[in-house]
Amino acid sequence: MKKEDCFFLGKIVKKYSFKGEVLVKLDTDEPELYDGLESVFVDLRGNLVPFFIENAQLHKSELLRLKFEDVDTEDDADAILKSNLYLPLEFLPKLEDDKFYFHEIIGFTIKDTNFGDVGTITGVNDTTAQALFEIDRDGIEILIPMNDHFIKKVDKENKVILVETPEGLIDLYLEE
């Protein structure tokens, strides 16, 4: 399994018991979807290794308490501490209408109601306070906030996102 075929589920943040249990900080708005999980891929030195789960249960809302098969001691748990967990993309819940996962929209065209064709989405920057569309327009990078007020329509079939940005926002990137 390759990382490109998976999504980031969370990170093992600490040991929970002397029996090898660990706590995972989940990267999701719906942690209850992963209660009772059967297996995950653990990133060990750049390789995704499948781990089977004996027990998975939510712990204090956003943490998932996991007991992996063959991880039975504190030393075993230490070996996987701070590792990232992944699941195959097909495990992602289906989203309706104008909702999307960031990986889904790479390659989509952005059109602005006032400006017209802006360019192609090359990525999403979610390291800032507000996530940003990263758009390539003939070699020029344009950043547009992923704001619900800006996004007017998501056409998944034709791979187009229609936005209405404040006047002059796109021009800022194009002025010499």
- Residue 31 is classified by DSSP as G
Q: State how far the Cα of 3 lies from the Cα of 6, in Å rounded to an integer.
A: 5
Q: Would you state the pLDDT for residue 37?
A: 87
* Arithmetic mean of pLDDT over the chain: 91
Cβ(16)–Cβ(22) under 8 Å? Answer: yes
| CATH number of the CATH domain containing 119 | 2.30.30.240
pLDDT, position 14 = 94
Q: What is the pLDDT of residue 118?
A: 96
- Joined together, the tokens standing for residue 1 give 């399994």
How many helices and strands in the chain, by DSSP H and E? 2, 12
Q: Are 134 and 147 in contact (CB under 8 A)?
A: no
Q: Give the pLDDT confidence score for residue 92 in this predicted structure.
A: 81
What pLDDT was estimated at residue 127? 82
User: How far is Cα 5 from Cα 92, in angstroms, rounded to an integer?
Assistant: 11
pLDDT at 70 over 80: yes
16-20 CB contacts, 8 Å cutoff, 24+ apart: 16/59, 16/65, 18/73, 18/74, 19/67, 19/72, 19/73, 20/67, 20/68, 20/71, 20/72, 20/73, 20/74, 20/76, 20/77
87 & 113 share domain: no
Domain match, 47 and 112 both: no
Determine, yes or no, domain membership for 97.
no
The answer on 14 and 78 residing in a single domain is: yes
Q: Per mean pLDDT, which range of 23-32, 38-47, 130-139 is the poorest?
A: 23-32
Specify the higher pLDDT residue, 108 or 27: 108
Tell me, yes or no, whether 115 lies in a domain.
Answer: yes
Whether 108 is in a domain gets the answer: yes
Please check whether residue 46 lies inside any domain of the structure.
yes
Quick one: average pLDDT of 20-40? 88
Given a contact cutoff of 8 angstroms between Cβ atoms, the answer to whether 64 and 37 are in contact is yes
Give the tens place of pLDDT for each residue, 109-146. 999 999 999 999 999 998 888 899 999 999 999 999 99
Count of structural domains within the chain: 2
pLDDT value at 23 more than 90: yes
